[in-house]
Structure 1
Amino acid sequence: MQWPPKLWPISPIGIVKWFYFYLVPWNLIYIAVSVPVLVYLTPSMETMKTFSWEWIAFIFARNCMLLIVFVSCLHVPLYVKKSQGFDRKYNGRWLARNNPNFLFKNQLMDNLFWTFTSAVPIWTAYEVLTWWMFANGYIPYVSFNKHPVYCLAVLFAIPLFRNVHFYLVHRPIHWPFLYRWVHSVHHANVNVGPWSGLSMHPFEHIVYYSGVLIHWIVPSHPIHAMFHLVHTSLAPSQTHTGFEKFIIKDGIDIRMEDYYHYLHHRYFECNYGGGGILNVDAWFGTFNDGSPAAMEKMNRRVMSRQQKTQSEGQSS
């Protein structure tokens, strides 16, 4: 089955397939995680009206544990137990060791360092500010009970918005200066693993998580902000497993998606929007499906840009 499924030309079967692939399994999983985390593992709005280290530390610890549990469900079977070996793996190597491109010369340790010293604190900061603003009525709140259709529509639209937002914040950090000082941290991971997803420079985390600010403007319910943050934090481990499918047992597997984002890590200059349901790269001419024609198009685009840069340098 093609991923992402084609929606055009529009047909009833095409619409059903699109919605199915959009929701199953990952977006349903992220929603299923978000609801109990909001209901049972988030302080009350009354508590969050005032900044306090107690509830902020609780949210930070909760986010750490949530990430550890979720990512370990992918990392342990695929990279520790190696339950399916290289079957459906895009790259025929395991995570790097004794490699000077990584902190501690170890890819996994490098990924864990950036995840827990930068990603989780910045994720927590955005979440804390969002809850504080919700609690004090500084951002527009909408009731799920009074406006269920609107709230469901916003919930449904969040991954679509994230797809576009990711492209818009990702493309600029491939500009030479930002790439060298910021994005190269993430792109050290050519052969990716689940912990590579949030292994980024702090500046990249700041712009990456900034998508949640949409809920400071668009009337939202707290579940929208929670789903947005959970999706932003957990989806990278899924899209960076390095495997096409996670095989549960014979005949049962889970689609991991992101071959297109794997190609981005391998070739850098394509698929800036990842492999989301919206093929944003196709809108901007940066899509690469790995075919010879797409590779040739990408190479022509890169060479043209390099020639332009060289000519500008010579003229100056």
Structure 2
Amino acid sequence: MANHTDPEPVSREWNYHPDLPLADPSIFKWPPDPRFLGRWLVCNWLMLSERVMLVLLATLCWWLFYPSLEAAKTFSVGWIFQVWLVNLGLMIGMAGGLHGYFYIRKGQGKALKFDHREPARGNRLWNFSNQVHDNMFWSLGSGVLQLTLFQAAMMWLMTNGYVPTITLASNPILFAAGLVLLPIWSAFHFYWVHRLLHAPALYKRVHALHHRNVNVGPWSGLSMHPVEHLLYFSSLMIHCVFPSHPIHLYFHVIYLGPGAAMTHTGYEDLLVKDKRRLALGTFYHQLHHRYYECNYGNQEMPWDRWFGTFHDGSDEGTKVTRARKKEMHGKI
């Protein structure tokens, strides 16, 4: 797409942002609004949303690419290597595909791109003096490796009967409910792990690596310190107590791993013929990468609003967040 088709930036700070202040799209509003919850369910689960696409991808991988649970009955290098290879391919395909379309081909120009800037080059802040190469190193190295080890452990536990499992035929309602609830659980887990990582000692030694990505891109999503990967992927331990099918596990794996590339694309939506066809990143999380001590969770969970860490995109929200950052980190 030629640059002359790009829209004018909305401000000096942002190339694009949605209407401000940000509204409250949490599904945990009180009192509940049945019409809002119905629209949320339709948009997320009855249309071709990010979540539906990831479930379909997880089903395809279960059917064709991941080893059978029977093969996972005993630990061996062969089937674990196969899991790692599939996860590596998913990560390269998703993050690389999004990066290629938005940042190499410029398929959407800067339409709906939050930050003015392109990925950084020639800056020694980054390994290899290149933001994208640095992000790829952490994502494809520690990221894919730890994701695979967590997944392999859960597969072994499932096939040996150490954790509760279900089939679609035995419990279709719980099967469907599990798919809906897993992203909600992940958001809950992410908020509290994220708050822990912003404790000054952990932030400086661990989480600061991810936050070098003030201007995010698809490879930023899983670019983390190995300690952060360990904490982040511990979300998968829910399958030790929640009755699951392998499709639940694989959906969860893809949602946490390659799916992070979608939420960190740096664009709000994918445009097809100038129409929004797929939700990608959120300004809510973009504000977190810009201002750090705010919006630790995601829009569906109410924790930031309940605990006073919500930034609504306004100038007043920025002042409050900067004051909190100064109090927590001094000059950091």
TM-score relative to the length of structure 1: 0.91
241, 257, 264: which one aligns with 2:265: 241
Counterpart of 2:15? none
1:98-120 deviation digits (Å, cap 9, x = unpaired): 01111011001001100111000
Counterpart of 2:7? none
Q: How does 1:208-287 map to 2 (within 5 A)?
A: 208-273=232-297, 275-287=298-310
Counterpart of 2:92? 68
When residues 11 and 184 of structure 1 are mapped into structure 2, their CA distance, relative to the original with a 3 A threshold, is closer
CA separation in 2, counterparts of 1:184 and 1:299?
17
User: Structure 2 counterpart of 1:287, which letter?
Assistant: F
Q: Of the two structures, which has the highest relative contact order with CA contacts closer than 8 Å and spacing of 6 or more?
A: 2
Counterpart of 1:5? 25
User: Structure 2 counterpart of 1:190, which letter?
Assistant: V
CA separation in 2, counterparts of 1:254 and 1:60?
28
Structure number with the higher helix fraction is: 1
Unaligned runs of 5+ in 1: 310-316
Query: What fraction of aligned residue pairs are identical, expressed as a percent?
Result: 38
CA separation in 1, counterparts of 2:329 and 2:165?
48
Counterpart of 1:18? 40
- Partner SS, residue 257 of structure 2: helix
- Say whether the 8 Å CA contact 2:200–2:329 is kept in structure 1: no
Unaligned runs of 5+ in 2: 1-18
CA separation in 2, counterparts of 1:43 and 1:237?
24
When residues 252 and 211 of structure 1 are mapped into structure 2, their CA distance, relative to the original with a 3 A threshold, is closer
1:204-233 deviation digits (Å, cap 9, x = unpaired): 001100001010122222221111111111
- Partner SS, residue 271 of structure 2: strand
- Say whether the 8 Å CA contact 1:5–1:18 is kept in structure 2: no
User: Structure 1 counterpart of 2:235, which letter?
Assistant: G
1:256 Cα deviation from its structure 2 partner: 1.6
1:148-187 deviation digits (Å, cap 9, x = unpaired): 1122112210000000100111111111111111111111
Q: Give the paired residue count.
A: 307
TM-score relative to the length of structure 2: 0.87
1:283 Cα deviation from its structure 2 partner: 2.3
219, 223, 226: which one aligns with 1:195: 219
CA separation in 2, counterparts of 1:129 and 1:164?
22
16, 19, 31: which one aligns with 2:55: 31
User: Structure 2 counterpart of 1:109, which letter?
Assistant: H
CA separation in 2, counterparts of 1:116 and 1:301?
34
1:304 Cα deviation from its structure 2 partner: 4.9
User: Structure 2 counterpart of 1:257, which letter?
Assistant: G
User: Structure 2 counterpart of 1:154, which letter?
Assistant: G
CA separation in 2, counterparts of 1:147 and 1:291?
46
Q: Does 1:161 align with 2:185?
A: yes
183, 203, 207: which one aligns with 1:179: 203
User: Structure 2 counterpart of 1:13, which letter?
Assistant: R
1:15 Cα deviation from its structure 2 partner: 2.2
User: Structure 1 counterpart of 2:127, which letter?
Assistant: L
